[in-house]
Amino acid sequence: MVTALHQIPVGEVWTVDEIKLRQRMIADAGMEWTVVESLPVHEGIKTKSGNWDQLIANYQESLRNLGTCGIKVVTYNFMPILDWMRTDVSFELPEGSKALRFERLAFVAFDLFLLKRPGAEQDYSPAEVEAASRHFEAMSPEARQALFRNALLGLPGSDVPFTPEIILNTLGTYTNIDTAALRLNLKAFLQAIVPVAEQAGLKMAIHPDDPPYSILGLPRIVSTAADLDFLLEACPSPANGLCYCTGSLGARADNDLLGIIDKHGRQIHFVHLRNVRRDAAGNFYEANHLDGDVDMYAVIKKLIEVMQETGNALTLRPDHGHQMLDDLQKTTYPGYSAIGRLKGLAELRGLEHGILHSL
């Protein structure tokens, strides 16, 4: 089972009592909780400001408590302010199911004309600003409202959306933080928590940026193969590793997904399998798990080879899924409807089964 204690505010300690309560709930359903997704990183840690020392101490205590309770893997991300970003959470596919989509021009329009981020126009070319303006003018009031709502979705596990005030106020804390500074803050975080995780018997798995490039003028530092090299070299340890997400990494054509496994396969501790169909303009939508631009056969084959070489089983899950059939009539967190994810899981397990029998 992969889950998290979403009810605990970011930055507070996950106590042994709360962890065991969730474990009993899962055990009563005949399953075991082995992977945390996610133990969120507070903005004060990412910016290394305010009560950074206390936030780090709380994170370390949460890790010790998770290790005491027998958890094996802890997932987290280091994306400034926002988690994953989509401009359309109901992108209709030809067969009638709905997918998640990121349209760069729509996001630029949101940034400039809905969020109205001060200085946003400096982050885009004049041609992009002009194109976004035309795009925005052509949108209906309903389409603008949907874009606004989609871009401000709260984090998975939360029903509380972001507000423009929250986003704009938090952006102010990143005024003097560029890519180099954020990398140093990530390094400080890793050096503080990885030894604790190692002692607690945990594997840390950082999730790549989604999408894997700058948004809102903020640096993103877990987007490329070079970024992965940096964070693994920043604190060498068996406990410092990756959540290998084929969707996030695959949204960039210049990311060699198979090369990343070849280089860092032993540091992959958790796997998200998701496919995307992308274009040269930076747009992408989430395709069926076995379609899209990610060669899922080659990816799974390489991951199986890593598991056979190391003798360690990797936990994987189908990341996101299309909304289809009965789930079209239900209210679910975008990407997390049941039927589409079960379809993806069935396809991925079938592919894995076939590969295993062919080796």
Q: How far apart are CA 234 and CA 324, in angstroms?
A: 43
207 is catalytic: yes
Q: How many CB atoms lie within 10 A of CB 36?
A: 25
Half-sphere exposure in the Cβ direction for 222 (13 Å, CA): 27
**Helix and strand element counts for the chain (H, E):** 13, 11
Which of 272, 285, 289, 322 is flagged as catalytic? 272
Nearest residue to 156 (alpha-carbon basis) of 245, 85, 247: 85
Q: How far apart are CA 240 and CA 231, in angstroms?
A: 8
Which of 111, 319, 322, 327 is flagged as catalytic? 319
245 is catalytic: yes
3-state DSSP assignment of residue 37: strand
Which of 269, 289, 320, 322 is flagged as catalytic? 320
Which of 42, 209, 243, 245 is flagged as catalytic? 245
Which of 6, 123, 264, 336 is flagged as catalytic? 336
336 is catalytic: yes
Check if the beta carbon of residue 220 is closer than 8 Å to that of residue 80: yes
DSSP string over 38-79: --PPPHHHHTT-SSHHHHHHHHHHHHHHHHHTT--EEEE---
Nearest residue to 197 (alpha-carbon basis) of 309, 92, 89, 68: 68
Nearest residue to 241 (alpha-carbon basis) of 197, 199, 275: 197
272 is catalytic: yes
**209-224 burial by CB neighbour count: b if 16+ within 10 A, else e?**
bbbbeebbbbbbbbbb
Which of 42, 207, 289, 322 is flagged as catalytic? 207
Residue with tokens 């760069």: 104
- Read off φ and ψ for residue 323, nearest 5 degrees: -85, 125
Q: How far apart are CA 208 and CA 256, in angstroms?
A: 14
Residue with tokens 């030894």: 195
320 is catalytic: yes
Check if the beta carbon of residue 225 is closer than 8 Å to that of residue 244: no
**Catalytic residue positions, numbered:** 207, 245, 272, 319-320, 336
